[in-house]
Structure 1
């Protein structure tokens, strides 16, 4: 653990599968000095925190259960609480129930920790990132949705499999909604510093609509497949949440595709994912992506889809 990390506390709201797995991943990372696990079911939070405390001798991090008041002075508060997505259910189908949860929860967090950074993982994450921004009164850069960071990881994994290369050598992103209207940015995808189209041409690999549609579909439907098989997703999203938190704690100016409230392709006041620079002040959209015309139109449609659901929450 670095000297910088030793001074930081992070609170995690929700001790379900995602919250508990995130707490455990964060505990073993040694990124922060203290983790507070908070849940409406106090016994569950105590049980999970105590179980993880038995592993804490492998780290210098402390973990305990707490209440909203224990969010005070937290560098970040990660929100995972809410109803889980069920088989056959879209992320947007969850909105009414989880929006009501946020109406109760977010003002309490903001009152206890007015200077913290909120990291939202609860689905539908873009709609709830917008809700957390409005309900907290925080500036947009301090309310961050996990967004398509997970989808981007899945996209690189699928591309690595499709072209027989290590995903670390694949640079490609998913933007827009963390959901069915997500956009794979094929125009900017590269492998080994070569544009994907050029790489495929040089390597004798296919690069046509059939193959790109297949990769896009597997990426988009990955969560549905996992939910059908095991009822939830937790390990991937937990690792992504720690990767989002890392540059915030370390003030690293890392570029990550996360969700943030803004104006996108003419659609105002909506949250969706674009590459953002993450540091101790939050998420910053400094440089716009150079998208092609089809991708820009897809972003507009994705933004309108999310905006429609946001408006439905106000009725």
Structure 2
């Protein structure tokens, strides 16, 4: 007896895909969770393992298999399939193999679930999202990338640790590439409504100086490499982040998230590239981008980040 209702499908039953499935079940994001992976034995085992825990989560069903038909009826598809990032390897170095996989794997999945919102999670997510839009013909609102949702969460965590406040009271975004050229938007960040650049340290805490901000930014950029070096992959936090994006779509939340969308019209003089800016996410997908104020340095860095991604697009004939 399978419950009817909202369905998400996750493409790829590796560390990230299964973390998304687990997070979605724990949060009660969907009534149906489907896993698709070309490794039939692996996906069957993951479905069985997750199913054995259904007693302890909000009512749901878990299905899976190697064929796109398992995605039929999906409201949201989360695409995690791709080459695995190796220690010391840049996200952008993953591009060629993952783009080739996306070209062949994604169109049949979209055909099986033509009404789904598609969220690209696999890295390098911005370039892969741009390629996926080309391969599927979907509009930018219905196919977008997880972008810097995770990076922004890392930034907020590090700021909360430095300043001694709850992470839920920190509001700050990373924009641009999900990768080495990403841009922290310090000038629009706040802690409990106080502009970050005006923050006075709590007793016993260090000031949030320019040097401290630079150190925090470096930690946000480099932390994934450190995690991959230590355990082989990042999975728990991106699993939670991707499940949260799916939840924003399924619950029609109109939630502001820094997802990666196609700039089909110029924004800050940037166009024809997928990158992250704070965006309203609801049942229709990725909607309006918010006109976040930026300093001159932040805007210059955002344009440089866009150039990095556009160069890669050209390199792969996109």
Q: Structure 2-normalised TM-score? A: 0.94
Checking the alignment, whether the CA contact within 8 Å between 2:163 and 2:206 is kept in structure 1 is yes
1:196 corresponds to 2:196: yes
Partner of 1:107: 107
User: Matched residue of 2:316: which SS?
Assistant: helix
User: Matched residue of 2:199: which SS?
Assistant: helix
Structure 2: gaps (5+ residues): none
Partner of 2:29: 31
Q: How many Å separate the matches in 1 of 2:288 and 2:93?
A: 29
User: Once the 2 structures are TM-superposed, how far is the Cα of residue 276 of structure 1 from its aligned partner?
Assistant: 0.7
Checking the alignment, whether the CA contact within 8 Å between 2:147 and 2:275 is kept in structure 1 is yes
Q: How many Å separate the matches in 2 of 1:138 and 1:229?
A: 38
Structure 1: gaps (5+ residues): none
Q: How many Å separate the matches in 2 of 1:284 and 1:6?
A: 27
Residues 264/305 of structure 1: CA separation in 2 closer, same or farther (3 Å cut): farther
User: Once the 2 structures are TM-superposed, how far is the Cα of residue 215 of structure 1 from its aligned partner?
Assistant: 0.7
Q: How many Å separate the matches in 1 of 2:202 and 2:20?
A: 41
Question: Greater CA deviation, 15-24 or 62-71?
Answer: 62-71
Checking the alignment, whether the CA contact within 8 Å between 1:256 and 1:277 is kept in structure 2 is yes
Give 1:1-315 correspondences, 5 Å limit.
7-58=5-56, 59-66=58-65, 67-200=67-200, 205-262=206-263, 263-314=266-317
Checking the alignment, whether the CA contact within 8 Å between 2:162 and 2:206 is kept in structure 1 is no
Question: Greater CA deviation, 62-71 or 297-306?
Answer: 62-71
Q: How many Å separate the matches in 2 of 1:208 and 1:33?
A: 46
Residues matched between the structures, number: 311
User: Once the 2 structures are TM-superposed, how far is the Cα of residue 57 of structure 1 from its aligned partner?
Assistant: 2.1
Q: How many Å separate the matches in 2 of 1:131 and 1:57?
A: 40
Residues 289/6 of structure 1: CA separation in 2 closer, same or farther (3 Å cut): farther
Q: How many Å separate the matches in 2 of 1:83 and 1:39?
A: 13
Q: How many Å separate the matches in 2 of 1:84 and 1:288?
A: 35
Residues 201/38 of structure 1: CA separation in 2 closer, same or farther (3 Å cut): closer
User: Once the 2 structures are TM-superposed, how far is the Cα of residue 294 of structure 1 from its aligned partner?
Assistant: 1.2
Q: How many Å separate the matches in 2 of 1:174 and 1:151?
A: 6
Checking the alignment, whether the CA contact within 8 Å between 1:264 and 1:303 is kept in structure 2 is no
What are the Cα deviations for residues 208-248 of structure 1, in whole angstroms up to 9, with x where unaligned?
Answer: 22111111111111101101111110000000011111110
Q: How many Å separate the matches in 1 of 2:311 and 2:128?
A: 13
Residues 13/202 of structure 1: CA separation in 2 closer, same or farther (3 Å cut): closer
User: Once the 2 structures are TM-superposed, how far is the Cα of residue 267 of structure 1 from its aligned partner?
Assistant: 3.0
Q: How many Å separate the matches in 1 of 2:49 and 2:148?
A: 31
Q: How many Å separate the matches in 2 of 1:243 and 1:225?
A: 24
User: Matched residue of 1:140: which SS?
Assistant: coil
Q: How many Å separate the matches in 1 of 2:165 and 2:42?
A: 42
User: Once the 2 structures are TM-superposed, how far is the Cα of residue 30 of structure 1 from its aligned partner?
Assistant: 1.7
